[in-house]
Amino acid sequence: MNPIVPSRRDFLKGAAAAAAAGVVPMSVVKLAFADPALDFTFGYISDAHIQHISGTKFVRNWDRGLIRAVAETNLLNPKPDFVVFGGDLGQLGMKEELDHGAEIMSKLRHKTYYVMGEHDYYLDLGEYWSKLFGPQWHSFDHKGVHFIVLNSILTFDDWTFNRWPSAEQRMLEMAGLDNPNGSPFMVGEKQRAWLKADLDKVAKTTPVVVFSHSPLQKLYKGWNFWTDDADEVQALLRPFDKVNVIYGHVHQIQYNQVGNIAFNAVMATAWPWPYPQTYAHAEHAMPVLTVPMNRADPFHERDATGWQFIDVHTGRVALNYNLYNNTARTVAFNPASGRPEDKLFQDPAKRIPPQEHY
Amino acid sequence: MKRILLGFVAAAALVGAAAMAADATAPPLGLPPVPIPADNPQTPEKIALGKKLFEDKRFSSTGQVACATCHDAQKAFTDSPLTTSEGIKKGGKPLTGTRNAPTVVNAAYFVSQFWDGRSPSLEDQSQHPFVNPVEMGLKDHRPILKIVRSDPAYAKAFEQVFGKKGAAITMKEVEQAIAAFERTHVAGDSPFDRYYFKGDAKALTDQQKRGFDLFVNKGRCVSCHVVEQNTALFTDNRFHNIGVGINGIQNDVPALAGEFLKAKVTLAEVDVKILGDKRTSELGRFAISRDFEGLGAFKTSTLRNVAVTPPYMHDGSLKTLRDVVVHYNNGGVTKEGDPVNDFLSGGIRPLNLTEAEIDDLVAFMEALTSPQFASLPSGARTEVKP
Amino acid sequence: MKRKIAVAAAAAAVVAVAFGITVRADEFTKKDQERWEKEYQSVVQKGRQLFTSGALGTNGVACAQCHPNGANTHPETYPKFQKQLGRVIALREMINWCLQQPLEGKPLALDAPDMIALESYILHERRGVKLEPGKH
């Protein structure tokens, strides 16, 4: 606990006090029900959207977001076991963008795993990305947990190979979130077959954590908050006792529980996205459990962006969202209720106006 | 103990209390009513007592330093043009800290005091410099209490104001009197106020009007130096890393921050540590909030009377207002092209101002000087030497 | 005087009958409505094109990157007090703020055709939502 007391409590803005209670960024959060022997943390940075303008100029605001996330992750003490980059390193999949992003990420003093995002993929179908970061889907084990990295932003072959006259055009079409010419994300048959074979070798009691860019759920098709074969993928994960899916793409706090699977979205370092319910003409499925993050303040360039560090306790994850100039949030699996919950704001009586005022 | 949710809410509540309290004096043009805590109403006697305490040099280990030494009424309650303040003398030379003395004028509108907001009120703030080794150098507050309890003039005043005498007089009463005195020093009614809130089109020159347009639009200044529909505090009461000072310790931030946390300092010790060690001082708000957001961040100053309170920034490192605008124009570095620190506030970026636009902004800031300070030397364009 | 007016009216009626026109104020047909709706939609389309183009500013960022389908623009809350412009503003001034700040470009004139188009698109995506001017 913070040693600056007691006068600090007298005047600290509630936000900071809650932050001290919810997240101490310089140390591992120890939750009451954790078995210390199985505790570890990893960092998660996502959706940097490094955007090239011309020459050596990149959109400064997105650059600064990633730079800051990297600098802060490097300050974590004790050090996380590894860091994951959740996808969309570049904006239009250009070599310049991936190189610039990789250069910023190289300042991280941790081993880093990379997840493919659609903004990385659709220019050259991941060719340069694979040179930088390795296989587009794979798995690894760490301290008794089975980790899976998926490329969940693939789409129908016809759209990918036949629809567009050039790779650049294809990338541009997929880059527009609300573009009616887009195409739904999916993991695809080939990868699902690999996933089945991979999972066959894993004991049902082993905790499983899946890193995906798309939500592996069907949330809102208009903005591709969607994985078309979510049902099939979830079916493959169903036999396991404890499954956690961590996804990017949505640039907002979301979380959900479907059967045995806990779903958690991560923040972007670049910019926030509105919740689908703020679009007057959307028909969407917002995960009911989710307590929205604060509505973004456009005058604060880092507001509603952030990065996170994730604690793993006995096979369950707790996401600690580091939100700039805002109350930090922790969404942790609550074994009593069997689902992820926001430690501060789950109770409707505890909500604050920026969470409801959209 | 009341839990205060948001500083702004607290200020609003206090303003509400003020509305019901005795003081019916209208605030200066361009400013809201002065926030007055319900437990420390203003009275003329209390204010006079506070002034006496504020100016009393006996409250220092050498008997030479008072609050008024660094917050001199003749210098808009600063010690301009000193870069960092000078306290008691040791070996014939004054000791200095790491921070520039902010003005008391309009400090009543701040939600927290000090550059890093480590004090929640004017009352609380007043106790710290007495016991800081490089300021007034007392070991504790007992010498002060001894004087106010035994000096006949003080004894009479404390009894009159607080109904207390002898051992019943505590530092709380001393703080309240000083704070009451400080709350009388608010100043608005500048040429800008007359232009913007009174509609006097002649109050600003054409150049200053151009400067105001830049202030709101291209310069983005108004993002933190708040101007509102009916009042302008010129501060958002928040903390921002704008790249002053921290650039010098950039590579050492992880080590410094880590050491600082490991040392597990209490708030009282923080006051001593940050004035005693420049490199720790550059951690800024982090020393108080212990979160990433505070790294290298300092409280947004009010810009009222800024032209007559040089030099600028928490460390006094920028000598003129022009230097300040150039620093912002460079996107958060003093020398153009220097690398920007990793923790820079999101709103700071190169502004692409022309030389003429920089001059316009400087001219606008000169229009924020209240009439009572108009004759003081201006640090707008040229360095004010001691 | 009366005679002159009567003559003028008679002359106008003759002209009207000669050209088969009914000259009545504020009488519009279904065809007019369809045509005008098409005119409006063409401007909405232009607005959508500008909104997604990335050419409005100098850094390639498009409005739609942060506001897919115009979400979170809240046009129905304007005019309102906009915190950092420090005063009550109308929607177009906020559009200009976005053009200057995140898009690092130049503001549009408040009556520029592109501004009208942007506003038309934004309001079109928000059609049907009740007005709440002043809401933060």
Cα–Cα distances (Å) from A115 to A112, A149, A212, B181, B187, in that order, read 10, 6, 7, 61, 57
Q: Do B347 and A67 touch (CB under 8 A)?
A: no
Q: Do A53 and C126 touch (CB under 8 A)?
A: no
Q: Do B218 and C107 touch (CB under 8 A)?
A: no
The predicted pLDDT at position C13 comes to 54
Q: Which of B244, B303, B278, B310 is nearest to B82 (CA)?
A: B310
For residue B29 the two structure tokens come to: 């043009």
The predicted pLDDT at position B2 comes to 45
Q: Alpha-carbon dihedral of residues A300, A302, A303, A306, nearest 10 degrees?
A: -170
Query: Which carries the bigger pLDDT value, residue B127 or residue B24?
Result: B127
The predicted pLDDT at position B262 comes to 74
**Chain A interface, Cβ < 8 Å to B:** 2-5, 7-11, 13-16, 19-20, 24-26, 60-61, 64-65, 67-68, 70-72, 74-75, 77, 299-303, 322, 324-325, 328
The predicted pLDDT at position B237 comes to 96
Query: Which carries the bigger pLDDT value, residue A315 or residue C9?
Result: A315
Cα distance between residue A174 and residue A163, in whole Å? 12
Chain C contact partners (≥3 CB pairs within 8 A):
A, B
Residue A16 in this model has a pLDDT that exceeds 70: no
Cα distance between residue A202 and residue B113, in whole Å? 58
Kindly state the average pLDDT of the residues A268-290: 88
Cα distance between residue A325 and residue B82, in whole Å? 32
Kindly state the average pLDDT of the residues B291-300: 92
Environment class of residue C14 by beta-carbon count within 10 Å: exposed (0-12), middle (13-18) or buried (19+)? exposed
DSSP letter assigned to residue A263: E
What percentage of chain A has pLDDT greater than the value 70? 89
φ/ψ (deg, to 5) at C84: -90, -10
The predicted pLDDT at position A36 comes to 56
Residue B183 in this model has a pLDDT that exceeds 60: yes
* C71 contact A CB<8A: yes
Domain B188-386 fold is Cytochrome Bc1 Complex; Chain D, domain 2 (1.10.760)
Kindly state the average pLDDT of the residues B78-99: 93
Cα distance between residue B96 and residue B116, in whole Å? 18
Cα distance between residue B12 and residue B27, in whole Å? 15
Q: DSSP E strands: which ranges in chain A?
A: 40-45, 52-54, 57-58, 83-85, 112-114, 138-142, 145-149, 208-212, 218-220, 225-226, 243-247, 255-258, 261-265, 306-313, 316-323, 329-334, 339-342
Number of residues in chain C: 136
Q: Which of C64, C123, B321, C12 is nearest to A179 (CA)?
A: C64
Kindly state the average pLDDT of the residues A150-176: 97
Which of the four CATH numbers 3.30.1330.10, 3.40.50.300, 3.60.21.10, 3.40.640.10 does domain A7-356 have? Answer: 3.60.21.10
Kindly state the average pLDDT of the residues B173-202: 97
The predicted pLDDT at position A313 comes to 85
Q: For chain A, what is the largest distance between any 2 Cα atoms, rounded to a whole number of angstroms?
A: 67
pLDDT category of residue B311 using cuts at 50, 70 and 90:
very high
The predicted pLDDT at position C2 comes to 59
The predicted pLDDT at position B113 comes to 97
What average pLDDT does the structure give for chain C?
Answer: 88
Query: Which carries the bigger pLDDT value, residue A95 or residue B250?
Result: A95
Kindly state the average pLDDT of the residues A263-269: 96
* C12 contact A CB<8A: no
pLDDT category of residue A282 using cuts at 50, 70 and 90:
confident
Q: Which helix (H) or strand (E) holds C65?
A: helix C63-66
Q: What is the ipTM of this complex?
A: 0.85
Q: Among B6, B257, B346, whose Cβ lies nearest the Cβ of A301?
A: B346
The predicted pLDDT at position C84 comes to 75
Chain B partners of C101 at a C-beta cutoff of 8 Å? 220
The predicted pLDDT at position C11 comes to 57
For chain C positions 20-39, those within 8 Å of chain A (CB to CB) are none
Kindly state the average pLDDT of the residues B322-336: 95
Q: What is the CA radius of gyration of chain C?
A: 22
- By C-alpha distance, the chain C residue nearest A61 is C102
Ranges A73-87, A278-292, B207-221, C55-69: which has the least confidence: A278-292
Q: DSSP E strands: which ranges in B267-366?
A: 298-299
The predicted pLDDT at position B3 comes to 46
The domains of chain C, with CATH numbers, are 28-125 (1.10.760.10)
Q: Do B4 and A68 touch (CB under 8 A)?
A: no
pLDDT category of residue A261 using cuts at 50, 70 and 90:
very high
The predicted pLDDT at position A38 comes to 67
Q: Do C68 and A278 touch (CB under 8 A)?
A: no
The predicted pLDDT at position C7 comes to 59
pLDDT category of residue B144 using cuts at 50, 70 and 90:
very high
Ranges A168-172, B75-79, B276-280, C114-118: which has the least confidence: B276-280
Cβ density class B328-363: b for 16+ within 10 Å, e for less: bbbbbbbeeeeebbbbbbbbbbebebeeebbbbbbb
- By C-alpha distance, the chain A residue nearest B253 is A75
Q: Which of A42-56, A64-78, B259-273, B329-343 has the highest mean pLDDT?
A: A42-56
The predicted pLDDT at position B289 comes to 87
Domain B7-182 fold is Cytochrome Bc1 Complex; Chain D, domain 2 (1.10.760)
For residue B337 the two structure tokens come to: 């092209």
The answer to whether C89 and C78 are in contact (CB under 8 A) is: yes
Cα distance between residue A183 and residue A179, in whole Å? 9
Q: Do B222 and C85 touch (CB under 8 A)?
A: yes
Q: Which of B147, B120, B183, B160 is nearest to B53 (CA)?
A: B147
User: pLDDT tens, A294-351?
Assistant: 888 888 889 999 999 999 988 899 999 988 888 889 999 999 999 999 999 999 999 9
User: pLDDT tens, B374-385?
Assistant: 999 999 999 988
For residue C118 the two structure tokens come to: 């942007």
Kindly state the average pLDDT of the residues B130-137: 94
The predicted pLDDT at position A7 comes to 27
Q: Which of A353, A356, A352 is nearest to A344 (CA)?
A: A352
Q: Do A299 and B347 touch (CB under 8 A)?
A: yes
Neighbours of C20 (CB within 10 A): 6
Kindly state the average pLDDT of the residues B310-314: 96
Q: Which of A92, B299, B1 is nearest to C62 (CA)?
A: A92
Query: Which carries the bigger pLDDT value, residue B15 or residue A201?
Result: A201
Residue B32 in this model has a pLDDT that exceeds 90: yes
Residue C18 in this model has a pLDDT that exceeds 70: no
Kindly state the average pLDDT of the residues C28-51: 95
The answer to whether C68 and C51 are in contact (CB under 8 A) is: no
Cα distance between residue B243 and residue B335, in whole Å? 11
User: pLDDT tens, C87-112?
Assistant: 999 999 999 999 999 999 999 999 99
Residue B301 in this model has a pLDDT that exceeds 80: yes
* C54 contact A CB<8A: no
* B200 contact A CB<8A: no
* C107 contact B CB<8A: yes
Residue B346 in this model has a pLDDT that exceeds 70: yes
Q: Among C84, C88, C107, whose Cβ lies nearest the Cβ of B223?
A: C84
For residue A81 the two structure tokens come to: 């076991």
Chain A partners of B343 at a C-beta cutoff of 8 Å? 68, 71-72
pLDDT category of residue B271 using cuts at 50, 70 and 90:
confident
The answer to whether A184 and A226 are in contact (CB under 8 A) is: yes
Chain B contact partners (≥3 CB pairs within 8 A):
A, C
The predicted pLDDT at position B186 comes to 97
Q: DSSP E strands: which ranges in chain C?
A: 80-82, 87-89
The answer to whether B49 and B158 are in contact (CB under 8 A) is: yes
pLDDT category of residue A26 using cuts at 50, 70 and 90:
very low
Chain C partners of A273 at a C-beta cutoff of 8 Å? 66, 68
The predicted pLDDT at position A206 comes to 93
How far C105 CA sits from the closest chain B CA (Å)? 10
Kindly report whether the global pTM for this prediction surpasses the value 0.80. yes
Query: Which carries the bigger pLDDT value, residue A236 or residue B292?
Result: A236
Q: Do B4 and A13 touch (CB under 8 A)?
A: yes
Cα–Cα distances (Å) from C103 to C43, C53, C66, in that order, read 22, 11, 11
The predicted pLDDT at position A324 comes to 85
Query: What is the domain partition of chain B in residue ranges?
Result: 7-182, 188-386
Chain B partners of A272 at a C-beta cutoff of 8 Å? none
| Angle, helix B171-182 to helix B142-150, in steps of 10 degrees | 80
Residue B100 in this model has a pLDDT that exceeds 60: yes
φ/ψ (deg, to 5) at A88: 60, 55
DSSP letter assigned to residue B372: G
**Chain A interface, Cβ < 8 Å to C:** 51-53, 57, 59-61, 176-179, 222-223, 271-274, 276, 278-282, 295-299, 301, 357-358
Neighbours of B263 (CB within 10 A): 11
CA A301 and chain centroid, separation: 20
pLDDT category of residue C20 using cuts at 50, 70 and 90:
low
Cα–Cα distances (Å) from C87 to A23, B48, B222, C52, C111, in that order, read 36, 39, 11, 28, 21
The answer to whether A263 and A214 are in contact (CB under 8 A) is: no
> A316-323 and A306-313: which strand pairing?
antiparallel
User: pLDDT tens, B195-239?
Assistant: 999 999 999 999 999 999 999 999 989 999 999 999 999 999 999
> A316-323 and A339-342: which strand pairing?
unpaired
Residue of B112, B292, B348 to mutate, testing the A interface (most A Cβ within 10 Å of its Cβ): B292
Chain C partners of A52 at a C-beta cutoff of 8 Å? 60
pLDDT category of residue C12 using cuts at 50, 70 and 90:
low
Residue B8 in this model has a pLDDT that exceeds 70: no
The predicted pLDDT at position C17 comes to 55
Chain C partners of B222 at a C-beta cutoff of 8 Å? 84-86
The answer to whether A318 and A22 are in contact (CB under 8 A) is: no
User: pLDDT tens, A91-143?
Assistant: 999 999 999 999 999 999 999 999 999 999 999 999 999 999 999 999 999 99
The predicted pLDDT at position A27 comes to 33
Cα distance between residue A199 and residue A195, in whole Å? 6
For residue A72 the two structure tokens come to: 């802060």
Q: DSSP states of B119-169 as a string?
A: BSSHHHHTTTGGG-TTTT--SSSHHHHHHHHHSHHHHHHHHHHHS--GGG-
Residue A256 in this model has a pLDDT that exceeds 90: yes
